[in-house]
Amino acid sequence: MIEAGLLLPGAHRAAALADDRAVARAILRVEDAWVTAQSRTGLVPAAAAEAAHAAVDRVPLDEASLTELAVASEGGGNPVIPLLAAYRRVVEEEHGRPLGAVHAGLTSQDVMDTTLALVVEDVRGTVLDGLDRTGDALAGLAVRHRDTVMVGRTLTQHALPVSFGLKAASWLAGVDDAADDVAARAHLPVSFGGAAGTLAATVARCTHPGDSGQRAWQRVRELLGHWAEELGLELPDGVWHTNRVPVLRAAGSLAETTAALSRMANDVLTMSRPEVGELREPAAEGRGVSSAMPQKQNPVLSVLLKRTGIAAPALLAQVVAGASAADDERPDGGWHAEWPALRELAVLTAAASSHAAELAEGLTVGEERMTRNLADAGTGVMAERLNTALAPVLGERDGRSAKQRIQAAVRAEPQDPDALAAALAAEVRTGEDVELPEGVAASELTGWIRGLLDPRGYLGAAPQLCERAAARHDERKRR
C-alpha cells in the first residue's frame, strides 16, 4: 500500500498518482465512462448518463471512507464491489431511481484492469516528463564535457583516459532508451470480457430483435470504442483477462527505467566519494543531513535512485509471477498479486524520474579533481597507447616481447612520465637496426614518447560519441 512513504523516502513525489484515492477515483471514472459510452451508442438516455457522471464526485473518498472500502474489499477480493455499491446509491439519488446501465455487462476484472490502465497512463506521463528533463541535462553535460579528461575505470580499477562527457553520454543513452520503451510499452488498453470472457451480457444488451450476430457484434465494438475513447485508452482486439502480456510489458518498461537511472546513480555515488571528489550532488535545504555527523552532505538523490533500482526487480518478479499464475477464464489470485507490485513499481519509477532530473540538472563536475585523479593514476593508464606505438619499434629481444618490456618500464616508473619516456627511448636505442616511426628523428625520440603519455591525445572517438548521443537525444525529442 502506497502511503506518504515512511519506508519509501521520496515516494511522496508520485504517490498521489496511484494511492488508494487515485485508484478509487479511477474505478469511478471507468464506471462513469461505461454509462456514457452506452448513452453514445443509444442504449441509455442522455439524462441518465448525466446523472451517472454527476454522481462520481459525490461518492465519499475521505480517509475514513477509504478505510471502510479497504475492509469491505476483503469480501469479494477486490475494491470494485463495495465501491460500486456506494456509486449505485449516489446514482440512484441523482437519477431518482436505480440505473441498470451502471456496470451492466462488466465484471470486476474488466473494471480493475481498466482502472490500472488509467493509473499507469497517469504515471507514464510523469515518468516521461522526468526522463525528458534528465535527458536534456545529460545532453548538455555530454557536449560541455566532451573533452574533459578523466580516468576511466573497469572492474573497479583504473583503465584508460576517457572524457566525462562520454560518461554522461552513456547515461543519456540509457535514459533515452528507457524513455522510448516507456512511451511504447507503459500503457494498458481497456479490458472487457464480462463474466467469463465471452462478452455474453454485453452482446445481449446490444442485440436488437432480428439482428444477425454480426450486426450485434458491430454494436458491441461501437460501444467498446466509445468507452475506450471516453477514457483515452486503446481498444484491444480481444479479451486479456488471462493474457497478462500487456501488464508485463508495462511493468518491464518501468523496471528498465529504474535500472538505467540506478546505473547513473551508481557512478555518481562512486565519483562523489570524498577520496574521489569528481562529482557533487546539488544541495538543498535539509537534504543529505546526518542525524549524528553535522559535517556530512550525503548524496541522497543517488541513494534513493539506487534504492529504487534494487527494489524494482523484486516488484517486477511479482508481476511476472502473477502473470504466470493466470489460468482458466479468470485468474484465481495471480491477477490480484499484480496490483500492489505494479502500483509500487509505478510510483517508485515516477519518483525516480523526478530524482534523476534534479540530480542531472544540478550536478557539479569537479574538472580539477578529475585531472588530479588521472595524474595520480600514473603512467599505467597510457600503457595501451605505448604498446600500440612502440611494439613495432621494439620488437622481441632477449626472449621478451615488446609488450613485456613496456610493462616492465611502466612498473619501474609508475608516476613519472618524463622518466618513463627517457627509459623507453633508451630501450629503443639499444636495439639493432631500429627503424624509428616515420617523421621521428633520433634526437626527438624522447619527446615523441613523452607526447604519447599525454592522455588528452588518447580519447579515441569520445568527443564524436558525445556529439552523437546529444544529437540522438534531440532527434528523439523531435519525433
| Integer Cα distance of 225 and 206 in angstroms | 14
The answer to whether residue 261 sits within a structural domain is: yes
In a domain, 99, yes or no: no
Catalytic residue among 21, 144, 280, 330: 330
Q: Write out the three cell numbers for 340.
A: 500492489
pLDDT score for 119: 97
Residue 448 covered by a domain: yes
Q: Which residues contact 106 (CB under 8 A, 6 or more apart)?
A: 34, 192, 194
Hey, what amino acid is at 124? R
Same domain, 305 and 413: no
Which pTM does this prediction carry? 0.93
| Number of CB atoms found within 10 A of residue 56's CB | 18
Residue 152 and residue 178 in one domain:
yes
**277 and 408 share a domain?**
no
Same domain, 390 and 355: no
Q: Identify whether residues 183 and 310 lie together within a single domain.
A: yes
**Does some domain include residue 290?**
yes
Residue 163 lies in a domain: yes
Indicate which residue of 97, 221, 273, 290 is catalytic. Answer: 290
146 and 241: one domain? yes
Q: For residue 211, tell me if it sits in a domain.
A: yes
Which of 332, 367, 402 terminates a domain? The answer is: 367
In the prediction, which pLDDT does 441 show? 87
What CATH number is given to the structural domain containing 330?
1.20.200.10
Within a domain: 479: no
Looking at the 3D structure of the chain, how many domains does it have?
2
Report if residue 269 sits inside a domain: yes
Looking at the structure, tell me whether residues 273 and 200 fall in a common domain.
yes
State whether 297 and 341 are in the same domain. Answer: yes
Cβ contact 172:470 at 8 Å:
yes
pLDDT tens by residue, the chain, 479 residues: 445 578 899 999 999 999 999 999 999 999 999 999 999 999 999 999 999 999 999 999 999 999 999 999 999 999 999 999 999 999 999 999 999 999 999 999 999 999 999 999 999 999 999 999 999 999 999 999 999 999 999 999 999 999 999 999 999 999 999 999 999 999 999 999 999 999 999 999 999 888 877 888 999 999 999 999 999 999 999 999 999 999 999 999 999 999 999 999 999 999 999 999 999 999 877 665 656 565 667 899 999 999 999 999 999 999 999 999 999 999 999 999 999 999 999 999 999 999 999 999 999 999 999 999 999 999 999 999 999 999 888 888 778 888 999 999 999 999 999 999 999 999 888 766 677 888 888 889 999 999 999 999 999 999 999 999 999 999 998 88
**Same domain flag for 435 and 297:** no
User: Whole-angstrom Cα distance, residue 230 to residue 49?
Assistant: 13
- Is residue 123 within 8 Å of residue 17, measured between CB atoms? yes
Give the end of a domain, one of 338, 367, 396.
367
Active site residue 290: yes
Q: What is the DSSP string of 359-393?
A: HHHHPEE-HHHHHHHHHHT-GGGGHHHHHHHHHHH
Residue 105 has a pLDDT of: 96
Distance between CA atoms of residues 189 and 194, nearest Å: 15
Question: How far is the first Cα of the chain from the last one, in angstroms, to the nearest whole number?
Answer: 37
pLDDT for the residue numbered 432? 66
Hey, what's the cell of 9? 523516502
Residue 416's domain comprises 378-457
User: DSSP label at 400?
Assistant: B
Domain check: are 324 and 393 in the same one?
A: no
**Per-residue model confidence (pLDDT) at position 213:** 78
Residue 430 sits in the same domain as residue 359: no
Q: Of 196, 246, 203, 200, give the one whose Cα is nearest residue 221.
A: 203
Query: Catalytic site residue 170?
Result: no
Written as nine digits, the cell of 420 is: 618513463
* 319 lies in the same domain as 388: no
Determine phi and psi for 365, rounding to 5 degrees.
Answer: -100, 120
Beta bridge partners of 162: 150
Q: Last residue of a domain, which of 303, 336, 367?
A: 367
* The residue to which cell 479511477 is assigned: 26
